[in-house]
Structure 1
């Protein structure tokens, strides 16, 4: 890597204090690397003309991209648009609800097309990857943090709040958990929405600034990252509305099929994957809850984001049940399926 390119990576060393997102501080080119900041040398700034190596992997079928020094730059999964980019290391914390933290060099971006074997020869690939490895804007993981407890409000050019602390839903005596579901991204925003599959929705005033579990996923990947969305629970282009529909016939690559038994194949997971759970009165194959996989925490457990009643909104903490896919907790025993969109 040239000295100018090293300097560009070093200038990306930013601490994102909002909502507990911390990017590991990078070092100047004249400093020696330390174990606390390994991310400054994760990849070249430009891959336009770099020598790249492409390796096909299985379970799931995917393509691993390495630079000339053998460093992994990105992983593209067949049928999926989400791409794991190796970038500056970040540590995610949510101190109100957990003592655990997750440190990762994964940045989850959306490619313009679902991946297929050999797509590295297509015209879009090099320009897109070149931009992605330099991109320091918020990815799926950082965007997820925008809705946790205490996250600051953010407004767009029209003055509409698109980020900030989200509730799960309004208090409801009729709901067994005490808060009503059916809070989608347009409820949080307070706007009407026309979906490509013909569904027109109006926001419910009492669901303003609220996101249920699948509404949270649709806010992160759909509204914020522009992944296509459906207004109905039908198969087709885009994410359906409910968790069971996304899990059962949503787009992308099915990583862990729902067998009705607790899933334990954690090795297939990648940060940003969608994870699905039984949340009914009795354990079984039905899916009523969904989340976004964050990564392995500092205790070695697989941790996820989801919007839940007791935490009153999105969290990766442990209030009302540990946000873990493994271990003896409630959610790990009801983890059934995973999908990469």
Structure 2
């Protein structure tokens, strides 16, 4: 399907150079075999494009990258490292619920925050070619590894992250169940991906100058989140105080927007209906309590 152009086409640039820039990733995460809990459609890696075109869009200010076939391949937002790339379709499931999300979005971090004109920087095109071909775990695959419970309860990740001894039991039984919603976001982005997410609770994340502020979340405003964005909520009855954070996953197979978060008494994160609604188009506490969208 061809991408419909809705902004002024800036330029078309032929690819050149063979340097490879490594994808941003954590260096301190344990080297373990990981079950991502995701089905990846069989497809060969995307070959490098012969040329790219760049569109500038607003709300938020961002650059869309199109290949020579006019297909959208990447979206980069000013001030943010989180980048949505087009890739093979994947299906994410939550084993405790019936929630299913199928998406062709792959989320990776650029080496530095994006700025207008960075498509001309030496690092960008080698990074983009490598990122489009990479089929290793991205932000979404890493985040959903903990949904299955395999890495939340039967893996030392959480214990290591919390600085607690690991006894091979679930964090709740091991009295390690202090991984709240902010801790989960820091586990994924900080511990696993090396993003400097130092804020320790939802209100600090909301106040920190992290990435890009994406959306107006007042009633009736268009929902502009893309997969990998942090969603900021106020769900304890205080209208202005952010007390919960989630990672946006995308629309489920019924078209309803879903997010990943640790909430309620559940063992680990979920994007199903556990501990309250997890969709954002109903009258539940999270839909009503959405206070902001942050793109890291």
Fold in common (TM above 0.5)? yes
Answering whether residue 30 of structure 2 is matched by residue 74 of structure 1, we say: no
Counterpart residue number, 1:86? 86
Whole-Å separation in 2 of the counterparts to 1:337 and 1:63? 21
Distance 1:190 1:96, change over 3 A: same
Q: Are 1:188 and 1:209, in contact at CA under 8 Å, matched by a contact in 2?
A: no
Whole-Å separation in 2 of the counterparts to 1:307 and 1:65? 33
How many Å apart are 1:153 and its aligned residue? Answer: 7.0
Cα shift readout 1:144-174 (whole Å, capped 9, x = no counterpart): 111124325799xxxx833xxx6xxxxxxxx
Q: Are 1:212 and 1:313, in contact at CA under 8 Å, matched by a contact in 2?
A: no
Query: What stretches of structure 2 of length at least 5 have no aligned partner?
Result: 1-33, 167-172
Counterpart residue number, 2:119? 120
Whole-Å separation in 1 of the counterparts to 2:260 and 2:220? 17
Following TM superposition, where does structure 1 have runs of at least 4 consecutive aligned residues deviating by more than 3 angstroms?
Answer: 17-20, 152-155, 188-191, 205-210, 261-264
Q: How does 1:20-169 map to 2 (within 5 A)?
A: 20-26=37-43, 44-47=46-49, 50-97=50-97, 99-152=98-151, 161-162=156-157
Match of 1:242 among 201, 207, 213: 201
Cα shift readout 1:191-220 (whole Å, capped 9, x = no counterpart): 9xxxxxxxxxxxxx9654752101111111
Q: Are 1:187 and 1:207, in contact at CA under 8 Å, matched by a contact in 2?
A: no
Q: Are 1:19 and 1:150, in contact at CA under 8 Å, matched by a contact in 2?
A: no
How many Å apart are 1:104 and its aligned residue? Answer: 0.6
SS in 2 for 1:52: strand
Q: TM-score, normalised by structure 1?
A: 0.69
Q: TM-score, normalised by structure 2?
A: 0.79
- Give the number of the structure with larger relative contact order, counting CA–CA contacts within 8 Å between residues 6 or more apart: 2
How many Å apart are 1:78 and its aligned residue? Answer: 0.2
Distance 1:263 1:285, change over 3 A: farther
CA RMSD of aligned residues (A): 2.8
Match of 2:161 among 154, 173, 186: 186
Distance 1:55 1:321, change over 3 A: same
Q: Are 1:297 and 1:303, in contact at CA under 8 Å, matched by a contact in 2?
A: yes
Query: What stretches of structure 1 of length at least 5 have no aligned partner?
Result: 1-16, 27-39, 167-183, 192-204, 231-239
SS in 1 for 2:103: strand
Cα shift readout 1:25-77 (whole Å, capped 9, x = no counterpart): 33xxxxxxxxxxxxx6xx84224xx2110111111110000110111111110
Distance 1:311 1:250, change over 3 A: farther
Whole-Å separation in 1 of the counterparts to 2:163 and 2:36? 18
Whole-Å separation in 1 of the counterparts to 2:185 and 2:65? 27
Whole-Å separation in 1 of the counterparts to 2:222 and 2:238? 19
SS in 2 for 1:323: coil
Whole-Å separation in 2 of the counterparts to 1:45 and 1:122? 21
Match of 1:221 among 186, 189, 194: 189
Whole-Å separation in 2 of the counterparts to 1:322 and 1:211? 20
Q: Are 2:99 and 2:271, in contact at CA under 8 Å, matched by a contact in 1?
A: no
